[in-house]
C-alpha cells in the first residue's frame, strides 16, 4: 500500500550554466552578442541603447524619441513601416526605460533579412513627423489619465518620488505639462546625442547566416559614446504619506528603501532575505497577510535594480480600514527577520525554491539572453549567477540575522498608500 503521507525522495543541485555567448566586434566598434538555442526557427534581436531617461536633456525626450522611431523615416510612412513588419509576421517592441531604450525585433528566421534592414532604417533615419508626434502625445495623455485612476499606478509613482526626489530621473514621472512641452527638435537632439551608443544581443536560432546578416546590416552604422550624465539625489528621511483617492475601494500601499548594488558583498543575503520576506508564494508576507488574515489578493517584496540605484519595495492592495494593520504587520515581519533566526526548515525550503526557480527559468534561449543582458548592463562579474547560488547555498541563519539588522530595520523604509 502506497503511503501518501511520505514525500518522495528528491535531489538538489546548485549547478547553473548559461549558454556562453559568442561576441563579435564589428569594424565600427559595435558589439554583437549571440546566443544560439531552441528548436523553433525564431530569432529575437534586442538593441540596447544607452539613451534612457537618465541621459535626457529634456524630460520625455527618451520616451518619445524611442516610441516614435517606428513612426516614419525620410523614405517610409508609419503605415508602410507597420505594413512591412506585419506582412512578415514580425513583431517590434520598443521600451524606453530609465537607463536604456530597448528595441526588440521578434521574427521567424526566414524573414530576418527584410525586417532587420527595416530596423536599421529606423535607427539611422527616423524622421519624427510632426503629425505622428501630436498623435502619440494625445494618446499618451489619455493613457496617463486612465493610469492616474489606478491606485497601484499612483502608489508606485509616489513611492519613487519620495525615495529619489521629484527632480531625480528615477523619482519623476511624465505629467501632462511635460508631454506638451516636447518638440521634434528635442527628439532629434536626443537621438543625435545618445542613440549612437548601443549593443546588440541576438538569441534563438542564430547560425552563420544570421550572424552574417547582422554583421552586414550594422557594420556601417556610426557608433559613438553617449554623453555621461550625473544626477545626485538629496538625502531624504523616511516618512509615511497617505494620499486620499475618492471613490476607491482599496488602498495600494508601498514600503521601500534604497539598497546596496548587485556587486556588494551583502547582495546575496539581502536578495535571499527579500525572497524569505515576500519573494514567493510561501513567503512570510504572503503567509501572514494573505493566507492567514485574508487581507489581500497578493503581497510581495522585491529587489529592483536600475543602473545607478537599487531599491527594495514591498507592495499590496488592501481595504482602507486594514491599511494600518497591514503596515504594522509588515513592520513585524521586518523585525522578525533580525530578531529571530530563520528556522532551518524554512531556510531549506526558501533556499531550494530560490535556486530551483532560477534554474527553471533557463528553458529558452531568450531567458539566457536576458541574463546576459543584466550581466552587460550592470557590469556583473563572470559567473555571477553561479556565484550567487553558491553564496546563497552557504548562508546560515546567523548570517541572515546580521544582514537583516543592517538593512531591514522598519524605520528605514519610506511608506506610501493611495486609495
Q: Which of residues 369-398 bind other proteins (CB under 8 A)?
A: none
Residues in region 133-152 near other proteins by CB under 8 A? 135, 138-139, 142-143, 145-146, 148-151
Number of residues that bind other proteins (CB under 8 A): 74
Question: Is residue 180 at the binding interface for other proteins, with CB under 8 A as the rule?
Answer: no
Return the SS3 of 62. Answer: helix
Question: Which residue from 127, 202, 213, 295 is in contact with other proteins, where contact means CB under 8 A?
Answer: 295
Nearer to other proteins, 29 or 343 (CB): 343
Q: Phi, psi at residue 202, to the nearest 5°?
A: -110, 130
Angle formed at CA 156 by CA 155 and CA 158, multiple of 5 degrees: 65
Question: Which residue from 73, 102, 296, 326 is in contact with other proteins, where contact means CB under 8 A?
Answer: 296
Question: Which residue from 219, 226, 261, 364 is in contact with other proteins, where contact means CB under 8 A?
Answer: 364
Question: Is residue 10 at the binding interface for other proteins, with CB under 8 A as the rule?
Answer: yes
Q: Whole-number minimum distance, CB 320 to other proteins, in Å?
A: 11
Question: Which residue from 177, 222, 265, 294 is in contact with other proteins, where contact means CB under 8 A?
Answer: 294
CA dist 250 → 148, 155, 254, 285, 323 (Å) = 15, 12, 13, 18, 9
CA 61 to chain centre: 20
Segment lying near other proteins (by CB under 8 A), choices 50-58, 172-180, 206-214, 343-351: 343-351
Distance CA 172, CA 166 (A): 5
Distance CA 59, CA 179 (A): 8
Q: Whole-number minimum distance, CB 89 to other proteins, in Å?
A: 3
Question: Is residue 2 at the binding interface for other proteins, with CB under 8 A as the rule?
Answer: yes
Segment lying near other proteins (by CB under 8 A), choices 8-16, 172-180, 397-405, 409-417: 8-16
Nearer to other proteins, 146 or 228 (CB): 146
In DSSP terms, 416 is beta-bridged to 241, 254
Q: Phi, psi at residue 200, to the nearest 5°?
A: -125, 135
Nearer to other proteins, 248 or 305 (CB): 248
Distance CA 184, CA 128 (A): 6
Give which of 233, 228, 309 is closest to 50, Cα–Cα: 228
Would you say 97 and 48 are in contact if contact means Cβ atoms under 8 Å apart? no
Residues in region 216-235 near other proteins by CB under 8 A? none
Q: Phi, psi at residue 234, to the nearest 5°?
A: -70, 150
Question: Is residue 240 at the binding interface for other proteins, with CB under 8 A as the rule?
Answer: no
Question: Which residue from 33, 59, 64, 106 is in contact with other proteins, where contact means CB under 8 A?
Answer: 106
Q: Whole-number minimum distance, CB 233 to other proteins, in Å?
A: 31
Give which of 63, 82, 86 is closest to 73, Cα–Cα: 82
Q: Work out the burial of residue 301: count CB atoms within 10 Å of its CB; fewer than 13 is exposed, 13-18 middle, 19 or more buried.
A: buried
Would you say 138 and 145 are in contact if contact means Cβ atoms under 8 Å apart? no
Segment lying near other proteins (by CB under 8 A), choices 25-33, 172-180, 212-220, 358-366: 358-366
Residues in region 260-289 near other proteins by CB under 8 A? 280-282
Segment lying near other proteins (by CB under 8 A), choices 57-65, 100-108, 235-243, 263-271: 100-108
Angle formed at CA 229 by CA 385 and CA 370, multiple of 5 degrees: 25
Question: Which residue from 317, 329, 333, 415 is in contact with other proteins, where contact means CB under 8 A?
Answer: 317
Q: Whole-number minimum distance, CB 329 to other proteins, in Å?
A: 15
Question: Is residue 8 at the binding interface for other proteins, with CB under 8 A as the rule?
Answer: yes
Nearer to other proteins, 362 or 377 (CB): 362
Q: Work out the burial of residue 12: count CB atoms within 10 Å of its CB; fewer than 13 is exposed, 13-18 middle, 19 or more buried.
A: exposed
Q: Which residue has the cell 527577520?
A: 337
Question: Is residue 129 at the binding interface for other proteins, with CB under 8 A as the rule?
Answer: no
Question: Is residue 290 at the binding interface for other proteins, with CB under 8 A as the rule?
Answer: yes
Residues in region 32-91 near other proteins by CB under 8 A? 37-42, 78-79, 82-83, 85-91
Amino acid at each position: 500500500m502506497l503511503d501518501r503521507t511520505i514525500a518522495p525522495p528528491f535531489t538538489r543541485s546548485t549547478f547553473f550554466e548559461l549558454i556562453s555567448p559568442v561576441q563579435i566586434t564589428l569594424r565600427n566598434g559595435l558589439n554583437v552578442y549571440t546566443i544560439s538555442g531552441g528548436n523553433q526557427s525564431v530569432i529575437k534581436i534586442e538593441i540596447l541603447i544607452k539613451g534612457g531617461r537618465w541621459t535626457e536633456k529634456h524630460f520625455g525626450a527618451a520616451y518619445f524619441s524611442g516610441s516614435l522611431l517606428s513612426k516614419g523615416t525620410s523614405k517610409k510612412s508609419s503605415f508602410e513601416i507597420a505594413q512591412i513588419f506585419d506582412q512578415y509576421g514580425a513583431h517590434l517592441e520598443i521600451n524606453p526605460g530609465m537607463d536604456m531604450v530597448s528595441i526588440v525585433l521578434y521574427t521567424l528566421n526566414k524573414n530576418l533579412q527584410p525586417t532587420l534592414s527595416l530596423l536599421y532604417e529606423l535607427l539611422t533615419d527616423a524622421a519624427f513627423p510632426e503629425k505622428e508626434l501630436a498623435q502619440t502625445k494625445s494618446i499618451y495623455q489619455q493613457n496617463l489619465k486612465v493610469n492616474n485612476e489606478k491606485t497601484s499606478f499612483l502608489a508606485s509613482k509616489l513611492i519613487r518620488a519620495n525615495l529619489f526626489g521629484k527632480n531625480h530621473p528615477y523619482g519623476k514621472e511624465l505629467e501632462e505639462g511635460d508631454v506638451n512641452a516636447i518638440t521634434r527638435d528635442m527628439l532629434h537632439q536626443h537621438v543625435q546625442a545618445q542613440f549612437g551608443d548601443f549593443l546588440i544581443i541576438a538569441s534563438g536560432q542564430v547560425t552563420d547566416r544570421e550572424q552574417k546578416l547582422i554583421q552586414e546590416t550594422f557594420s556601417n552604422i556610426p557608433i559613438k559614446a553617449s554623453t555621461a550624465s550625473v544626477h545626485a539625489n538629496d538625502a531624504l528621511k523616511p516618512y509615511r504619506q497617505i494620499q486620499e483617492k475618492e471613490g476607491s475601494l482599496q488602498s495600494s500601499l508601498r514600503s521601500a528603501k534604497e539598497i546596496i548594488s548587485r556587486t556588494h558583498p551583502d547582495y546575496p543575503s539581502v536578495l535571499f532575505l527579500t525572497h524569505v520576506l515576500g519573494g514567493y508564494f510561501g513567503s512570510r508576507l504572503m503567509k501572514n497577510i494573505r493566507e492567514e488574515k485574508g487581507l489581500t489578493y497578493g503581497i510581495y517584496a522585491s529587489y529592483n535594480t536600475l543602473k545607478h540605484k537599487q531599491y527594495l519595495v514591498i507592495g499590496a492592495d488592501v481595504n482602507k480600514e486594514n491599511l494600518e494593520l497591514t503596515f504594522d504587520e509588515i513592520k513585524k515581519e521586518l523585525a522578525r527577520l533580525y530578531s529571530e533566526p530563520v528556522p532551518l526548515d524554512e531556510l531549506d525550503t526558501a533556499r531550494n525554491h530560490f535556486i530551483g526557480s532560477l534554474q527553471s527559468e533557463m528553458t529558452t534561449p531568450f531567458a539566457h539572453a536576458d541574463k546576459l543582458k543584466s550581466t552587460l548592463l550592470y557590469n556583473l562579474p563572470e559567473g555571477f549567477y553561479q556565484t550567487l547560488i553558491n553564496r546563497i547555498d552557504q548562508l546560515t541563519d546567523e548570517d541572515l540575522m546580521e544582514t537583516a539588522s543592517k538593512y531591514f530595520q522598519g524605520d528605514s523604509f519610506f511608506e506610501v498608500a493611495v486609495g
